[in-house]
């Protein structure tokens, strides 16, 4: 009897605590209820959706769209003044200067040769880095998805570089790859001739690709790993019972079911690759010569670091780069939609 | 009632925010970068100033040189920035400097003692007092004396040419198995000194940049030849793209080069970091066919015209430019002063390092034999433009990306484009 009384009293206490906790929520609901009803009445259900989207759209407008239009306005002006009001309108001159080229594949024939060198370097970087990043992340995720010993430890090991600042990543690898760096020290110890990796055009470029993969693959591996773990186990069991070969299991079950995750990874890697700057700037500074100069560094140098800055030219280059990113994103969206449609038809 | 209270609170909050970001009366911020111990010396000096002037609060923002070079100009263009800054782009940014003439206690004192460099940091055609040079620098060479002695190679003498130094350094490098005989900073200013020694002229008849001439080409082609045959350190010049500055000092400090061309500002750095590891000497600038000039330059402390407290700024500047303070600052930092009175009365550099004292003496002597153009360039508006184009294109030629002829064409085109942009 005493137990029942105690239980009832406890239940009453927790009930009143819950009610007390709900009080502010109820109060808030009471306050916003009337205006929301008014919005719904005045603008209808569609208006309600717009109402809830408004804060997000405002933030997007102020921090994304507005800077884009300001940037575009800068790209139509010349001189080194910072304020738009102090700058001279030059129309499409900055774009004409960027595109003033006899042969786009031979940057030496272009007025802005460093821009086209940077475009070429970025193109190669994107092709190599995206392909290798996807392959390495996928293989790593497949391995980490197996029943390994100390699996959590290995997952942490691959994710750890993601936590590092890009400047730290650049410095670590600079200390490894420079003339008197760790790698040459090791090579010398094993009787090999040291090599100045960062002074060699090809090795320096390979280093930028390798370092960026090392620094970011953990993040993409995690996304793929999540996709792998979402694939129902019974599909694999059925395939095993049918005696399906491992490669066929991979191509017919794993890959198709992983595709939504892979698409996300591809688009993220692609965008990040086009924007590459920080770790490369610390690692090679764009050198040797201009062999690791990428578009973002060109924009930075032109707009901010050069002795006589040209914000208009930098803005024009960044608009072009933005357009490339928009095209890449639309391609990804298109691919994603066509896959969804195919899936629905099946 | 509640609405009024909320509005009042919001207004108070907004005012609080505004006042917390605006400069308070008596606040002076100095943006300062250090090559050596000068930041510590300044902190000490400013500490004493604040004790004597409790109504003025001076804050020193110690930043890296790249912040001064890359971020300060953007802040200034936005009408923002510190109240005082230590800068090297003295002329190019001169439109942002505050005219201290009506604000300082004795303008004649400034004219007498800092007048020789006043034009380096004021807009053309004005008599503005923008600040003063915290140090006068002069480019020049350093030799690793121990390496030369160990190799049994005599140090080239006072009037030795660039070729003499290249030949001797090469012998040392071969004998001592070091990676490079010579190194030269990745800087247009540094490259300009030997170009002038070869007889180069940068200034056209109209006062604008002249096309690159044969004398410049003569040294640049020699320089690239040295990089190609391993006489000159390739590492420093190909280690970045664009006009990014890179010094070769670490290689010299680590005993990896026999001869290093940099400048007087390295003396305190070497004194601290080399210590007794090896003997080193300042050599002055090697000679070319025309002369043996180095390039003067230095860092200046300037007042920024966007300051909210110009009177307090002038007080701080008056203090830092005063004779005893300049003398103490120079003696403790081992910097060559710009102050005429201090130079005339002589300095007692506070170091036990005899090598550093001798080196400073050599730079002081070398400063008396500069080419006319070398004296003119720090106060010429287009110097930085030429330096930037030189570094960018010469390093591309050094990396094998373009021929020398292409590099020369690009240097002229880059400079022409900048001149055209500046007219907008």
Query: What span, in angstroms and rounded, lies between the C-alpha atoms of A193 and A200?
Result: 15
Check pLDDT > 70 for residue B3: no
pLDDT band, residue B15 (cuts 50/70/90): very low
Please give the pLDDT value at position B20.
42
Who contacts A14 (Cβ-Cβ below 8 Å, separation ≥6)? none
Q: Which residues of chain A have pLDDT under 50?
A: none
Among A194, A281, A289, A295, the residue to mutate for chain B (most B Cβ within 10 A): A289
What is the predicted pLDDT for the residue at B44? 96
pLDDT 10s digits, A86-104: 889 999 999 999 999 999 8
Question: Helices (DSSP H) in chain A: which residue ranges?
Answer: 2-60, 66-75, 93-99, 113-144, 151-159, 166-177, 182-189, 201-230, 233-241, 246-249, 255-274, 278-283, 295-300, 311-345
Cβ neighbours of B253 in A, within 8 Å: none
Rounded Cα gap, residues A284 and A171, in angstroms: 10
Interface test with A, best of B77, B208, B240, B245 (most A CBs within 10 A): B240
- What lies within 8 Å, CB to CB, of B146 at 6+ separation is B255, B278, B279, B280
Could you tell me the two tokens for A26?
């109820």
Assign A310 to helix, strand or coil.
Answer: coil
The Cα–Cα gap between B195 and B389 comes to: 14
Cα B296 off chain centre by: 9
Better-scored residue on pLDDT, B193 or B246? B193
**Residues B410, A113: C-beta atoms closer than 8 Å:** yes
Residue range B191-207: average pLDDT? 96
The answer, for B208 touching chain A at a CB cutoff of 8 Å, is no
CA of A67 vs chain B CAs: smallest distance (Å) = 17
For residue B304, what are the β-bridge partners? B97
Determine which of B24-28, B37-41, B228-232, B312-316 has the lowest per-residue pLDDT on average. B24-28
pLDDT of residue B14: 47
Which two three-digit tokens encode residue A293? 């100069």
Q: Are B77 and A81 in contact (CB < 8 Å)?
A: yes
Q: What's the per-residue H, E or C state across A251-270?
A: HHHHHHHHHHHHHHHHHHHH
Of the ranges A206-215, B58-67, B111-120, the best mean pLDDT one: A206-215
How much is the average pLDDT of B337-355? 88
* Distance separating alpha carbons of residues A24 and A27, to the nearest angstrom: 5
Question: Which residues make beta-bridge pairs with B20?
Answer: none
Which domains are assigned to chain B? Answer: 24-136+298-354 (3.40.190.10), 138-296+368-422 (3.40.190.10)
* B27-32 vs B131-144, strand pairing mode: unpaired
**CA A139 to centroid of chain Cα atoms:** 20
Structure tokens at B159: 């009037």
- Residue B268, preceding peptide bond in cis (omega within 30° of 0): no
Distances from the Cα of A73 to the Cαs of A70, A81, A314, in angstroms? 5, 14, 12
What does the pLDDT look like over B137-179, one tens digit per residue? Answer: 999 999 999 999 999 999 999 889 999 999 999 999 999 999 9
Cα A206 to Cα A118, A157, A286, B179, B188: the distances in Å are: 16, 23, 13, 24, 29
B23 touches A: beta carbon within 8 Å:
no
- Cβ–Cβ gap B241/A290 under 8 Å: yes
Q: What is the pLDDT of residue B361?
A: 85
Find tokens 């390739």 and name the residue.
B234
Q: Which residues of A touch B401 (CB under 8 A)?
A: 289-291
Task: Give the per-residue pLDDT at B355.
Answer: 92
Q: Please determine, for residue B406, whether its predicted confidence score (pLDDT) is greater than 50.
A: yes
Q: Read out DSSP for B348-413?
A: ----S-HHHHHHHHHHHHHTTS--HHHHHGGG-TTHHHHHHHHHHHHHHHHTTSS-HHHHHHHHHH
Angle of the B214-228 helix axis to the B162-176 helix axis, nearest 10: 10
Any bridge partners for residue B299, and if so which?
A: B135
Residue of B90, B187, B242, B420 best to disrupt the A interface, most CBs of A under 10 A: B242
**Residue B305 near residue B123 (C-beta atoms within 8 A):** no
Dihedral, CA of residue B316, residue B317, residue B322 and residue B324, to nearest 10: 60
Contact B235 A287 (CB under 8 A): no
CA-based nearest residue in chain B for residue A300:
B70
Strand partners, B260: B142, B183
**Closest-CA residue to B80 (of B26, B133, B22, B134):** B22
Distance of alpha carbon A138 from alpha carbon A136, whole angstroms? 5
Quick check: A291 and B399 CB within 8 A? yes
What secondary structure does DSSP assign to A85-107, as a single string?
GGSEE-TTHHHHHHH-BS-TT-G
> Within 13 A of A239's CA, how many CA atoms are on the CB side?
16
Does the structure show a pLDDT above 90 at B10?
no
| Contact status of B399 with chain A (Cβ, < 8 Å) | yes
Please give the domain boundaries of chain A with CATH numbers for all domains. 16-69 (no CATH), 84-345 (1.10.3720.10)
Verify whether the Cβ–Cβ distance B78 to A82 is below 8 Å: yes
At CB < 8 Å, which residues of chain A contact B? 78-83, 87-88, 90, 108, 111, 113-114, 179-180, 196, 198-199, 201, 284-293, 297, 301, 304-310
**ipTM higher than the 0.95 cut:** no
The SS3 call for residue B260 is strand
**pLDDT bracket for residue B2 (50, 70, 90):** very low
Average pLDDT, chain B: 90
> Do residues B285 and B143 lie in contact, with contact meaning Cβ atoms separated by under 8 Å?
no
pLDDT(B16) > 80: no
């Amino acid at each position: 009897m005493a137990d029942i009384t105690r239980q009832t009293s406890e239940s009453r206490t927790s009930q009143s605590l819950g009610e007390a906790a709900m009080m502010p929520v109820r109060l808030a609901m009471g306050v916003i209820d009337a205006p929301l009803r008014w919005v719904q009445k005045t603008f209808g259900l569609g208006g309600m959706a717009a109402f809830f989207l408004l804060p997000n759209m405002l933030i997007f407008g102020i921090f994304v769209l507005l800077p884009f239009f300001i940037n575009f306005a800068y790209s139509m002006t010349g001189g080194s003044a910072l304020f738009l009001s102090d700058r001279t309108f030059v129309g499409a001159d900055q774009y004409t200067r960027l595109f003033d080229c006899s042969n786009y594949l031979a940057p030496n024939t272009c007025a802005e040769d460093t821009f086209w060198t940077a475009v070429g370097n970025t193109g190669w970087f994107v092709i190599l880095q995206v392909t290798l990043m996807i392959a390495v992340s996928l293989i790593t995720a497949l391995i980490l998805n197996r029943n390994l010993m100390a699996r959590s430890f290995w997952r942490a090991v691959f994710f750890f570089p993601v936590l590092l600042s890009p400047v730290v990543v650049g410095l670590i690898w600079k200390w490894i790859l420079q003339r008197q760096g760790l790698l040459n020290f090791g090579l010398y110890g094993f009787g090999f001739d040291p090599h100045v990796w960062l002074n060699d055009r090809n090795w320096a470029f390979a280093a930028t690709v390798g370092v960026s993969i090392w620094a970011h693959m953990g993040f993409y591996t995690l996304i793929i790993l999540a996709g792998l773990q979402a694939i129902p186990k019974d599909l694999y069991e059925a395939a095993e019972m049918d005696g399906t070969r491992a490669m066929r299991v991979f191509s017919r079950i794993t890959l198709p079911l992983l595709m939504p995750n892979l698409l996300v990874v591809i688009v993220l890697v692609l965008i990040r690759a086009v924007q590459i700057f920080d770790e490369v700037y610390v690692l090679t500074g764009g050198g040797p010569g201009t062999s690791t100069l990428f578009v973002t560094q060109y924009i930075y140098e032109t707009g901010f670091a050069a002795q006589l800055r040209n914000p208009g030219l930098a803005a024009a280059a960044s608009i072009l780069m933005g357009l490339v990113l928009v095209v890449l994103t639309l391609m990804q969206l298109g691919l994603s939609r066509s896959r969804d449609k195919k899936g629905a038809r099946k | 009632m509640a609405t009024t209270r909320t509005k009042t609170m919001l207004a108070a909050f907004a005012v609080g925010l505004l006042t917390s970001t605006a400069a308070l009366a008596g606040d002076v911020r100095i943006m300062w970068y250090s090559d050596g111990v000068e930041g510590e010396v300044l902190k000490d000096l400013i500490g004493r100033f604040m004790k004597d002037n409790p109504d003025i609060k001076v804050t020193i923002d110690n930043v890296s040189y790249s912040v001064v070079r890359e971020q300060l100009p953007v802040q200034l263009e936005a009408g923002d920035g510190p109240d005082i800054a230590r800068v090297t782009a003295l002329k190019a940014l001169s439109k942002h400097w505050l005219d201290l003439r009506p604000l300082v206690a004795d303008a004649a004192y400034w004219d007498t003692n800092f007048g020789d460099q006043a034009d380096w940091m004021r807009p053309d055609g004005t008599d503005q007092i923008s600040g003063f040079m915290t140090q006068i620098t002069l480019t020049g060479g350093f030799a690793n004396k121990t390496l030369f002695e160990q190799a049994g190679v005599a140090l080239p003498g006072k009037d030795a040419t660039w070729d003499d130094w290249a030949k001797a350094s090469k012998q040392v490098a071969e004998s001592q198995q070091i990676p490079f005989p010579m190194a030269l900073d990745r800087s247009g200013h540094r490259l300009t000194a030997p170009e002038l020694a070869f007889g180069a002229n940068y200034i056209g008849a109209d006062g604008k940049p002249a096309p690159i001439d044969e004398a410049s080409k003569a040294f640049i082609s020699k320089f690239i030849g040295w990089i190609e045959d391993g006489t000159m350190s390739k590492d420093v010049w190909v280690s970045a793209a664009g006009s990014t500055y890179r010094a070769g000092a670490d290689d010299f400090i680590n005993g990896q080069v026999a001869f290093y061309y940099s400048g007087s500002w390295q003396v305190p750095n070497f004194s601290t970091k080399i210590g007794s590891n090896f003997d080193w000497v300042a050599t002055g600038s090697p000679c070319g066919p025309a002369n043996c000039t180095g390039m003067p330059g230095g860092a200046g402390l300037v007042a920024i015209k966007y300051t909210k407290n110009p009177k307090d700024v002038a007080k701080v500047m008056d203090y830092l430019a005063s004779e005893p303070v300049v003398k103490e600052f120079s003696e403790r930092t081992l910097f060559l002063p710009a102050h005429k009175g201090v130079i005339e009365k002589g300095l007692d550099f506070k170091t036990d390092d005899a090598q550093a004292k001798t080196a400073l003496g050599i730079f002081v002597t070398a400063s008396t034999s500069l080419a006319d153009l070398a004296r003119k360039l720090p106060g010429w508006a287009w110097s930085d433009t030429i330096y930037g184009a030189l570094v960018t294109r010469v390093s591309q030629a050094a990396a094998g990306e373009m021929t020398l002829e292409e590099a020369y064409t690009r240097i002229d085109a880059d400079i022409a484009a900048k001149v055209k942009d500046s007219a907008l």
